[in-house]
Chain A
Amino acid sequence: MQAHTVKRQTTPRAYKSRGRLRKLASQYQLILMSVPFIGVLFVFHYLPLWGWLMAFQKYSIPKGIMGSPFVGFDQFAELLADSRFYQALRNTFAMSGMSLAAGFVCAIGLALLLNEARSMFFKRTIQTIVYIPHFVSWVVISNIVIYLLSPDHGPLNELLAGLGAVGEPIYFMSKEKWFWVIHTLAGLWKELGWSTIIYLAVLAGVNPEMYEAAEVDGAGRFAKMRHISLPSLLPTATLLLILAVGQMLSTGYESQMLLGNSFVMDYSQVLDLYALDYSLSIGDYSYGVAISMFKSVVSIVLVLGVNTIAKRVGQSHVL
């Protein structure tokens, strides 16, 4: 002990670094547990960033990243003059925004309703049911949506025909204007139940004395819902909304790919699908990378912006 003290007084830095090294060596098991796997994560999450170089090149597969000629910002200039790019950008934002807004409002609504159900058995059963679609693949969901809306004996068309509302079956999936709505509703059907989980947990934590006090003051169900349940959800809701805005562009392209078809492409094609289309069918990888890069950068800016806002709002750490 004494020796240590003396050493620290003489060469503190040397001691410290040697101490750290020794500590590192003694933790070889923890290193073995984590570093290889984080390494794999690094490869698949960070190495693609290296590919951004391609956006500034005229990339060709045989030459590779190292050999392809640089063309500066040509790809981006082309991008900014490309009307289909703007279309894809519009579709991406429109569908993300619609899903976000619909999901946010409906999740809070459903959580409030579930919270009001007195019968625990009923509540549990409904919860179990509405969580199901979250665990089902988009392939299955889109299969169900296309089947439900099918003009050929699809349940919705049969229902409408039965009510005498329509004479001819409607081809829902080939109506351009309907695609965003159908996409939003499909996503809502899939994720609505799941997104109530956190809200229900918050509601379960509300002090019951608050409800009792309100009752003494003569508050009815609606009044309690409006003045106690809803306000107690607000901090969580704000944080989740902010986070959702940050993740807005990271929602993927699976649903659009599966639900979309050639009739509605002007409204279903999102940035990722456009990039995929360009790279895989036309073979212009540089342009595809430029599109991907644009999306990633906007996405990161959104996340960082949102993180700053979240901090202002008073929620400690988001990122």
Chain B
Amino acid sequence: MRVQWTWGGVSFQVANYALLALLGAATLYPFLNLLAISLNDSMDTVRGGIYLLPRAFTLDNYKLIFQNQRLFSATGLSVARTLLGTTAALIATTMVAYALSRREFVLRKPLNAVLVISMYVNGGLIPYYILIKQLGLTNTFLVYLLPGLLGAFNVLIMRSFFDELPPGLIESAHLDGANEFTTLFRIVLPVSLPVLATITLFLSVGHWNAWLDNYLFNTDESLTLLQYELMKILMQSTDQIGAGAGNNVDAELMRMTTPQSIRATMTIIVTVPILLVYPFMQKYFIKGMTLGAVKG
């Protein structure tokens, strides 16, 4: 396109770039600021005035957190939940999406209805809470994996991707004698990497960030997740409602550092894994999102 250089056009561009840069800065600044605080000596931080760079550099805050038994095991459990939960849900989502994308599948319509209606109808929080209790899922690791095993939204995104695949792909696999499982895992999945990446990202972020199920169902301290521990420290220091959030990280830890430094450090710990993964997925999930939106 031909670009015309007019005063109005140039000043608009300048203002636009400035505004967008400001928005970017406003988004990044809190993270960079917390990163600086997490890398700064906790006693020094109390004096204030830490912005983008640490003043008295130290890794002590990180060492203290990983030396703390509870926080260390919470980290392990969060990682385990994310890996297992994502894997299980990815398998479930893929198989259901594949089955529902097959036009000749006899149960396609009723199953699809059950799936789609589940997005709009729900019994509400308290009936759900009671159901989990009655199923005996309280204080189990399973409560992190099972309820979210299949999500309608993810299935719809993946199904609309499968719908776009050339029909000959599956037919020819069947003609060659491949059964459904072989067709799915050997033929369809290798050409579906973009949508697999998208769904994997959504699932793993969801699992990594989850804490409500921990708060509601698992009072057992050996099942506590990193996000929940961060939430408890947050609640404690701001005198918030959080029932049962009183006792948490060892008093010893609090003596050696400050709540502010712990919060900053834990925020960085729970954020960094996401920042490491998602920029590489960007082009995939944008495609996945728009696909889902057009079809959804």
Among listed B5-13, B56-64, B69-77, B160-168, interface-contacting one: B5-13
User: Closest CB-CB distance, B263 to chain A, in whole Å?
Assistant: 6
Task: Name the interface residues of B99-131: CB closer than 8 Å to any CB of A.
Answer: 99-100, 102, 104-107, 111, 114-116, 118, 120-131
Q: Which residue of A lies closest to B152 (CB)?
A: A41
Within the assembled complex, what's the spacing in Å between the Cα atoms of A277 and B296? 35
Q: Which residue of B lies closest to A289 (CB)?
A: B126
The answer to whether A29 and B111 touch (CB under 8 A), given A48-B122, A48-B123, A146-B234, is: no
Q: Which residues of B contact A23 (CB under 8 A)?
A: 104, 106
Q: Which residue of B lies closest to A272 (CB)?
A: B125
Is there a chain B Cβ closer than 8 Å to A74's Cβ?
A: no
Q: Which residue of B lies closest to A278 (CB)?
A: B126
Is there a chain A Cβ closer than 8 Å to B65's Cβ?
A: no
Max chain A Cβ within 10 angstroms of own Cβ: one of B27, B48, B289: B27
The answer to whether A222 and B12 touch (CB under 8 A), given A126-B21, A144-B267, A146-B238, is: yes
Within the assembled complex, what's the spacing in Å between the Cα atoms of A109 and B210? 31
The answer to whether A220 and B98 touch (CB under 8 A), given A41-B114, A44-B147, is: no
| A292 pairs with B124, CB closer than 8 A | yes
Q: Which residues of A contact B180 (CB under 8 A)?
A: 29-30, 33
Task: Name the interface residues of A156-214: CB closer than 8 Å to any CB of B.
Answer: 158, 173, 189, 193, 197-198, 201, 208, 211-212
| B8 pairs with A130, CB closer than 8 A | no
| B227 pairs with A220, CB closer than 8 A | no
User: What class of interface size applies to chain B in its complex with A?
Assistant: 35 or more
| A54 pairs with B20, CB closer than 8 A | no
Interface of B is mostly: helix
Task: Name the interface residues of A250-270: CB closer than 8 Å to any CB of B.
Answer: 250, 253-254, 257-258, 260-262, 265
| B124 pairs with A201, CB closer than 8 A | no
Is there a chain A Cβ closer than 8 Å to B279's Cβ?
A: yes
Q: Which residue of A lies closest to B30 (CB)?
A: A144
| B48 pairs with A158, CB closer than 8 A | yes
Q: Which residues of A contact B271 (CB under 8 A)?
A: 136, 140
Is there a chain A Cβ closer than 8 Å to B252's Cβ?
A: no
Interface of A is mostly: helix
| B9 pairs with A275, CB closer than 8 A | no
Among listed A8-16, A93-101, A226-234, A295-303, interface-contacting one: A295-303
Q: Which residues of B contact A43 (CB under 8 A)?
A: 131, 135
Within the assembled complex, what's the spacing in Å between the Cα atoms of A126 and B27? 10
In the complex, how many residues of chain A place their beta carbon closer than 8 angstroms to a beta carbon of chain B? 99
The answer to whether A128 and B279 touch (CB under 8 A), given A51-B127, A117-B16, A289-B124, is: yes
| A276 pairs with B125, CB closer than 8 A | yes
Task: Name the interface residues of A277-309: CB closer than 8 Å to any CB of B.
Answer: 279-281, 285, 288-289, 291-293, 295-296, 299-300, 303
Q: Which residues of A contact B16 (CB under 8 A)?
A: 113, 116-117
The answer to whether A319 and B107 touch (CB under 8 A), given A37-B92, A52-B127, is: no
Is there a chain B Cβ closer than 8 Å to A3's Cβ?
A: no
The answer to whether A279 and B129 touch (CB under 8 A), given A23-B106, A34-B111, A117-B20, is: yes
Within the assembled complex, what's the spacing in Å between the Cα atoms of A292 and B126? 6
Q: Which residues of A contact B212 (CB under 8 A)?
A: 254
Contact for B24 among A129, A139, A303, CB less than 8 A: A129
Task: Name the interface residues of B255-296: CB closer than 8 Å to any CB of A.
Answer: 260, 263-264, 267, 270-271, 274-275, 278-279, 282, 286, 289-290, 293
**B residues in contact (CB < 8 Å) with A:** 1-4, 6, 8-9, 12-13, 16-17, 19-21, 23-24, 26-28, 30-31, 33-34, 48-49, 92, 95-96, 98-100, 102, 104-107, 111, 114-116, 118, 120-131, 135, 146-147, 149-150, 152, 179-181, 184, 205, 208-212, 227, 230-231, 234, 238-243, 260, 263-264, 267, 270-271, 274-275, 278-279, 282, 286, 289-290, 293
Q: Please, could you name 16 A-B residue pairs with CB atoms under 8 Å apart, sorted by A?
A: A27-B106, A30-B107, A41-B152, A48-B130, A49-B123, A52-B127, A132-B27, A136-B274, A140-B271, A144-B30, A198-B293, A221-B12, A276-B125, A281-B243, A288-B125, A292-B126
Given A27-B105, A40-B146, A146-B238, 17 additional A-B pairs, CB 8 A: A34-B111, A38-B111, A41-B114, A44-B147, A48-B127, A51-B127, A51-B130, A116-B13, A117-B17, A125-B24, A130-B24, A132-B28, A136-B271, A137-B210, A258-B234, A279-B129, A299-B120
